[in-house]
Chains A and B, each alone.
Chain A
Amino acid sequence: MRALIEFYNSSVGKKLIVGLTGFFLIAYLIIHLFGNLLLFRSDGGAAFDIYAELLPQVVVIRIIEVVLFLIFIFHIITAAYTWLLNKQARGSAYELQKKGETSALTSRTMLLSGSIVYIFLVLHMRQFWYVSRYEAGEHFSMYEVVRATLAEPVYSILYIIAMFLLGFHLKHGFQSAFQTFGLRDKKYASLIEWVGVIFWLLIPIGFASMPIYFLLNF
Chain B
Amino acid sequence: MNFKLKIWRQYDRNSKGKFAVYNVTDISPDMSFLEMLDAVNRNLAKKSEDVIAFDHDCREGICGSCGLYIDGRAHGPQRGVTTCELRMRHFKDGGTIIVEPWHSKAFPVIKDLVVDRTAFERIIQAGGYISVDTGSAPEASSLPVPKANAEEAMDAAACIGCGACVAACKNSSAMLFMSAKVSQLALLPQGDPERKRRVQKMVETMDREGFGLCSNTYACEQECPKKISVSHIARMNREFIRAKLF
Contact = CB atoms under 8 A, between A and B. Distances in A.
Interface of A: 3, 6-7, 10-16, 82, 85-86, 88-99, 101-104, 107-108, 110, 172, 175-176, 178-186, 189
Nearest to A90: B172
Contacts of B100: 94-96
A13 B237 CA distance: 9
Contacts of A186: 229, 231
7 contacts: A10-B244, A89-B211, A96-B100, A103-B217, A184-B231, A185-B231, A185-B234
Question: Binding site of B, secondary structure by majority: helix, strand, loop or mixed?
Answer: mixed
Contacts of B213: 11, 14-15, 82, 85-86, 89
A178 B106 CA distance: 28
Nearest to B168: A102
A179 B72 contact: no
Contact of B234 (A91, A96, A183): A183
A186 B217 CA distance: 16
A91 B103 contact: yes
Contacts of A189: 231
B172 A86 contact: yes
A189 B230 CA distance: 11
Interface residues of B, number: 49
Contacts of A184: 231, 234
Interface string B85-104: 00000000000001010011
B71 A10 contact: no
Interface stretch (B23-31, B40-48, B218-226): B218-226
Interface in B148-191: 168, 170-173
B237 A11 contact: no
B61 to A, nearest CB: 19
B132 interface: no
Contacts of A3: 244-245
Contacts of B3: none
Contacts of A10: 203-204, 207, 240, 244
A94 B103 contact: yes
Contacts of B98: 95-96
B235 to A, nearest CB: 7
Given A11-B203, A89-B105, A96-B98, A104 B234 contact: no
Contacts of A91: 103-105, 172
Given A102-B223, A103-B217, A92 B103 contact: yes
A93 B103 contact: yes
B214 interface: yes
Interface in B227-246: 229-231, 233-241, 244-245
Contact of B171 (A86, A96, A176, A179): A86
Contacts of B124: none
A105 B106 CA distance: 25
B66 interface: no
A44 B218 CA distance: 49
Contacts of B104: 89-91
A7 B245 contact: yes
A12 B238 CA distance: 10
